[in-house]
Amino acid sequence: MNKDNSSMKMDPQLALRLLADGGVLVIAGVPEGTEFGIDLCAYTIGPDFRGVKMIPPGVHYVWCSSRGPYGDAAPRVGFVHFFHPNEIVVREWDHEVEELRPRRIAEPEVERDRIRKNLAQLERVLAPYDYRYVVQWKELTGSVTESCVDRCRPTEGTIRTNIELQSCPDADRPRGGAATGSISRRNAAARLLLDESELLPDLKPVEGTAPRFTTVPLRVPQDALPADVSRHALDCIDAIDKLLEGFETADGLIEELQLAYAFFLVGYSVESLAHWRKLLGLLAHSQTAVTKHKLTYMKYSEVLAHQLPHLPEELMVPGPHNTVYKDVRELLVNLHAGGLSVSAERLSKRLEKKLGWEFEGLLDEDPEDQPVVIELPEA
């Protein structure tokens, strides 16, 4: 994330073309001093700021963070929108909840037409989109389509750092329903000991506030037979096939991966990071999936090459306690074994350059996977 108040230099002819083709975001009533951002740039709103012009077509994330009387910042609240050429989007400040909302007027189309006709007079209060960071943003979101945006964003449209929760019966909790059957009842006490989430309050997201991502299958199905547990744990191809069946095409998965990471990177969405993390934890652990879905894994390795350098600092240090690093290492092993050594080398070299991650002995056999030799006492 960049916070850069320096001016952007641009060729005048290029600026005119971008102004003619780009989208416009108009915001009304936002208090001075509010933190405002679009994509990878953040600013502090001044007295004459009314929005952004020259927005390139594609997906963009807009957010605001109100400031308290002592300079403390509220969590980011934003929205995602897929801009079309020359599109005008209008938002207004909701003083009650301190966030941007869609304009509440009788004839919004009339207002947009009036803005379009008077755009030349409004230019002085519209900041130009900062094209110094457009390449990075395209690398992070270049595959995202408008249909993916419509499918994944919350139904209410607003994305918050943490989703709103409300009380609910235990059977309605997102992690699962009430136990059924004699075996489940007998194992209830054991589940309480093994899974601390069972002890959490009965809460579920408020309707319309959570991102609508695809459900990620478990690596080991809950109904798996004991003889199949090890097979699923070692190679979760069945779960990955089930995941891909949820998309019209395999590219849908790549789009969702990019959009979820953008929600986290710009909007600090905790749920979006958790979803991205679940997908990595699943996709990294199957050599069979790499062999079967080569093109998808080639694209996925390119996506990770651009995403991982933007990780939070606490996830940048490689080591046995960094689960992201461990999953990426496992993914690299399976890329090599599945016939995508070129993709593996490209990803590992970028991570070494950007993060200092080294993967020594990557293709050596893991000691944990080697057979255990037990010496029996002599008869």
Give me the residue spans of the domains in the chain: 12-141, 157-166+185-210, 215-367
Helix axes 294-307, 270-283, angle to 10 degrees: 140
* Contact yes or no for 121/129 (Cβ under 8 A): no
User: Residue range 119-133: average pLDDT?
Assistant: 89
User: What is this structure's pTM?
Assistant: 0.84
Q: Which two tokens stand for residue 274?
A: 């958790």
Residue 11, SS3? coil
Which H/E stretch holds residue 41?
Answer: strand 41-44
What is the per-residue pLDDT for 70? 78
Higher pLDDT, 175 or 324: 324
**pLDDT bucket at 4, cuts 50 / 70 / 90:** low
CATH pick for 12-141 out of 2.40.110.10, 3.30.1490.190, 2.60.34.20, 1.25.40.10: 2.60.34.20
Give tens-digit pLDDT for 240-268. Answer: 999 999 999 999 999 999 999 999 999 99
**Fold agreement between 12-141 and 215-367:** no
Cβ burial of 24 (10 Å; 0-12, 13-18, 19+) is buried
Give tens-digit pLDDT for 271-326. Answer: 999 999 999 999 999 999 999 999 999 999 999 999 999 998 888 888 888 899 99
In the chain, alpha helices (H) = 12-21, 108-117, 119-122, 134-141, 146-152, 181-186, 188-194, 226-234, 237-245, 251-267, 270-283, 287-292, 294-307, 323-337, 341-355
Residue 186, SS3? helix
> Is 1.25.40.550 the CATH classification of the domain at 215-367?
yes
Average pLDDT, the chain: 85
What is the per-residue pLDDT for 191? 41
User: Residue range 73-78: average pLDDT?
Assistant: 91
Give tens-digit pLDDT for 180-218. Answer: 443 344 344 434 333 444 555 566 777 778 999 999 999
